[in-house]
A = this chain, B = another copy of it.
Amino acid sequence: MRRKTFLLIVVAIVVGVVAFMSPASPHAPQEAAPIFVTEIPPGYREWRFISVAHEEGNLNSFASILGNDIAVRAYREGKLPFPDGAIIAALHYRFVPSAENNKAFGRDQSFVAGAPTNVQFMVKDSKKYAPTGGWGFGHFNSDGKPVADAFMKTCFPCHQKVKERDLVFTRYAP
């Protein structure tokens, strides 16, 4: 009876340790569920300018990419990987022609930011977001709500294509 109790305790400890270790274990990456950014980082509209971008096609987007102090400092110092605490925000708008600017210029040449569509975030926390390269991804439509996890699961595989730049597409505009 004593031996049985001892064995049960040993088994329970082993099960407990394995259960505790599994999510962070390098031997079981396929079990690690990605964690997404579900709250909009406060004050992002006051952050500093990193660069601009435009995507054609279905996206038809005009983006301004901003960074918090930690992100901007890392960019300027060329520091890779980005340190924990770095946050990059991509403010997306519709890419629309400006009738009023074109009228002033006397020709069709001007495109401006139209209605806001969404804001995306990359939040660096190498522990919390370990399953997705240390980055937490967030996408909030103009209603301020995060999008469904099914959509969010597409972020990491695409950003992984620029692994040599710590998953960050945007380069700093001087």
Contacts and interface: CB of A to CB of B under 8 A. Distances in A.
Interface in A37-53: 45-49, 51-53
A49 B66 contact: yes
B55 A52 contact: no
A8 interface: no
A70 B95 CA distance: 27
Interface stretch (A22-30, A99-107, A125-133): A99-107
A91 B56 contact: no
Interface in A147-174: 158, 161-162, 169-171, 173-174
A116 interface: yes
A41 to B, nearest CB: 15
A52 B59 CA distance: 16
Contact of A104 (B47, B53, B104, B169): B169
A160 to B, nearest CB: 9
Given A64-B64, A64-B173, A109-B59, A104 B158 contact: yes
Interface of A: 45-49, 51-57, 59, 62-64, 66, 91, 93, 95, 98, 100-101, 103-105, 107-113, 116, 158, 161-162, 169-171, 173-174
Given A52-B64, A93-B173, 16 more contacts: A45-B49, A49-B49, A49-B66, A52-B52, A53-B111, A54-B111, A54-B112, A55-B110, A56-B108, A100-B169, A101-B169, A103-B161, A104-B162, A104-B169, A112-B170, A116-B173
